Amino acid sequence: MLLNPKKIQQLAQNLASLPPDENSSELKGRSLWQLARARFARNRAAMISLIALLLIVIFSIVGSSLSPWDHEQIDWDAMADVPMLGAPSIQSRHYFGTDDLGRDLYARVIQGSQISLMVGLIGSLIAVVVGTLYGATAGYLGGRIDALMMRSVDILLAIPFMFVLILLMVMFGRSIYMIFIGIGLLSWLDMSRIIRGQTLSLKNREFIEAARAIGVRPLTIITRHIIPNVLGIVVVYATLLVPGMIMTESFISFLGLGVQEPQTSWGALINEGARSIQNGTLWQLLFPLAFFIVTLLSFYFIGDGLRDALDPKDQ
């Protein structure tokens, strides 16, 4: 049942006439985003994870300036060499050792961090934007439009994800940009179903009915009222998408359809390290694996902290 606009106006006047809360002075002048930032700063695990992730990002940007070796340069005198942090000269120093072909593992981890983070972040951003808008629209409009939109999602989910991704690589070329665009455009389906379910539980709430009663357009209701109230779920799901997309990229690179030599990624380095571990070159696996695990955990704890900070129930 829709609320009468006159009743809404009367209710607003009654609320305005109430005496101020004793604790309202603490919140005066602070927006909801400022309160969320303060809540996030109190989460110790999230702040430590944020610092760790920032260090990894800085490492991927400026780390190459600390080594004289390039990611595709071969040191013929150091095949599968152990890490040498205390080498007599900078020119002969391989911080993380070398791989079986004599390429500097430190430089290759930097190259891998750039590609892996780009695939994970940009791909998840595409998936989150498309899936959130699609799911919120379907859930709010309802009826035949909702049924048609979600049946389309069910049909797309029935198609093997990896088959479609490989087909895109074959048709449009094995470009690194095509990789994260293809992964992002195929990963929004689950997000749309989650957001659609949350929208169904929100569309009949009082504040949504009040917005409809005063003539707010459906698009505005979706973007200004529905999406902000599912932001916590969006953030948590996005943190799970990033490492999953990195692993997806590493799998298609292993098939020869993803990152091509001499470029590399964390997933490709982990695959190379796992294959060469029988030769006693454990460092080839440990260094990229350590960066990948720290990044995965950092995204998880940051997402958990953002979910608690942006939860509308805590506002």
Task: Tell me whether residue 28 is in a domain.
Answer: no
What CATH number does residue 219 fall under? Answer: 1.10.3720.10
Task: Tell me whether residue 9 is in a domain.
Answer: no
Band (168; pLDDT cuts 50, 70, 90): confident
Task: Tell me whether residue 4 is in a domain.
Answer: no
Band (33; pLDDT cuts 50, 70, 90): low
Distance (Å, rounded) from C-alpha 241 to C-alpha 121? 9
Distance (Å, rounded) from C-alpha 301 to C-alpha 311? 15
Number of domains in the chain: 1
Task: Tell me whether residue 37 is in a domain.
Answer: no
H helices present in 42-104, as ranges: 44-62
Rounded to two decimals, the pTM is: 0.74
- Closest CA relative to residue 105, chosen from 277, 292, 273: 273
Classify 193 as helix, strand or coil. Answer: helix
Cα 137 to Cα 132, 142, 198, 199, 281, distances in angstroms = 8, 8, 11, 9, 52
Task: Tell me whether residue 103 is in a domain.
Answer: yes
What average pLDDT does range 71-88 have in this prediction? 68
Higher pLDDT, residue 165 or 50:
50
